[in-house]
């Protein structure tokens, strides 16, 4: 009668190494799939937020002179500029407390965060477009390049040597997977970005960067912000389809 033979310690060790390698090989693709799903979810959140801004302008108007012949002018919401965001816009009288801040999700009834649990950043032209006493300006009331207004630009890098879009009343973005500079749902501000392009999106000026993502250590610096915007032409075509704010 033969005696049953078990596994030796060396054989068990080899099996464990093989299993570890297999699990490791599966973990990376799974992680990438989760990240891709979060990016897609955040892009959807941004698109819904953009549509909500247009919807707000459709339902919020100011009539300058009470003249029924002159159509009322739509206006946009202000950013949430509270130290701890509460999802409500902040105004001082008719004007915004600031041109840049957090997206007022409570006012607009949208998702309060991106897929990584961070608030969306919102910047708006606040001298007229978001002013409750003025609204979207008439194209005839000022001369290009609109130097008197706080309109935004989308650049390909922090130096803004090339533009993807100009004369924008609205820029909206998620701080992306790394979350650098974001405010999370617990009210905590995450570490500041280290790359010039991500820092450009936080310096409260009129220039913003939108480009292909890059990792830390790349020559162009780390970048993973997800940026969308509303152009003046798109806004007018959606909220003034009959030419009510020419």
pLDDT digits 0-9 by tens, 196-238: 999 999 998 999 999 999 998 899 899 999 999 999 989 998 9
| Residue closest to 172 by CA, chosen among 74, 56, 34 | 56
What pLDDT is recorded for position 144?
A: 55
pTM score of the predicted model = 0.84
Lowest mean pLDDT of 30-34, 124-128, 161-165, 175-179, name the range: 30-34
The angle at the Cα of 176, spanning 86 to 125, to the nearest 5 degrees, equals: 55
Is the residue at 246 inside a domain?
no
Residue 142: pLDDT band with limits 50, 70, 90: low
Is the residue at 1 inside a domain?
no
Is the residue at 245 inside a domain?
no
What pLDDT is recorded for position 69?
A: 47
The angle at the Cα of 168, spanning 137 to 101, to the nearest 5 degrees, equals: 100
The pLDDT tens digits of the residues spanning 228-246 come to 999 998 999 899 876 667 6
Task: Please compute the mean of the pLDDT values over residues 5-32 and round it to a whole number.
Answer: 69
Is the residue at 5 inside a domain?
no
Is the residue at 34 inside a domain?
yes
The pLDDT tens digits of the residues spanning 148-195 come to 678 999 999 999 988 999 989 999 999 999 999 999 999 899 999 999
User: Taking 70 as the threshold, does the pLDDT of residue 87 lie above it?
Assistant: yes
C-alpha span between 39 and 31 (Å, rounded): 12
User: Taking 80 as the threshold, does the pLDDT of residue 102 lie above it?
Assistant: yes
Residue 30: pLDDT band with limits 50, 70, 90: confident
Is the residue at 3 inside a domain?
no
Residue 66's domain comprises 10-239
Maximum CA pair distance of the chain? Answer: 108
- Looking at the structure of the chain, the number of domains it has is 1
Is the residue at 200 inside a domain?
yes
What pLDDT is recorded for position 6?
A: 58
Is the residue at 77 inside a domain?
yes
Inter-residue contact 73 to 64 (CB < 8 Å): yes
User: Taking 80 as the threshold, does the pLDDT of residue 134 lie above it?
Assistant: yes
User: Taking 50 as the threshold, does the pLDDT of residue 94 lie above it?
Assistant: yes
What pLDDT is recorded for position 65?
A: 57
């Amino acid at each position: 009668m033969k005696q049953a033979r078990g596994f030796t310690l060396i054989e068990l060790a080899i099996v464990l190494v093989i299993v570890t390698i297999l699990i490791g090989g599966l973990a990376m693709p799974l992680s990438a799939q989760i990240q891709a799903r979060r990016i897609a979810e955040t892009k959807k959140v941004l698109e819904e937020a953009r549509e909500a801004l247009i919807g707000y302008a459709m339902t919020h108007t100011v009539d300058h002179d009470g003249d029924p012949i002159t159509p009322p002018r739509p206006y946009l919401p202000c950013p949430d500029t509270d130290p701890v965001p509460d999802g409500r816009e902040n105004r001082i009288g008719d004007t915004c407390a600031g041109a840049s801040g957090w997206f007022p999700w409570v006012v607009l009834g949208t998702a309060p965060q991106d897929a990584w649990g961070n608030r969306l950043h919102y910047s708006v032209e606040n001298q007229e477009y978001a002013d409750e006493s003025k609204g979207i300006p008439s194209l005839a009331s000022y001369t290009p390049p609109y130097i008197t207004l706080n309109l935004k630009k989308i650049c390909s890098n922090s130096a803004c040597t090339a533009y993807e879009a100009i004369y924008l009343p609205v820029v909206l973005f998620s701080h992306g997977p790394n979350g650098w500079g974001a405010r999370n749902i617990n009210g905590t501000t995450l570490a500041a970005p280290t790359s010039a392009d991500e820092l450009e999106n936080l310096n409260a000026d009129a220039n913003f960067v939108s480009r292909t993502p890059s990792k830390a250590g790349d020559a162009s610096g780390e970048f993973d912000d997800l940026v969308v915007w509303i152009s003046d032409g798109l806004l007018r075509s959606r909220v003034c389809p009959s030419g009510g704010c020419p």
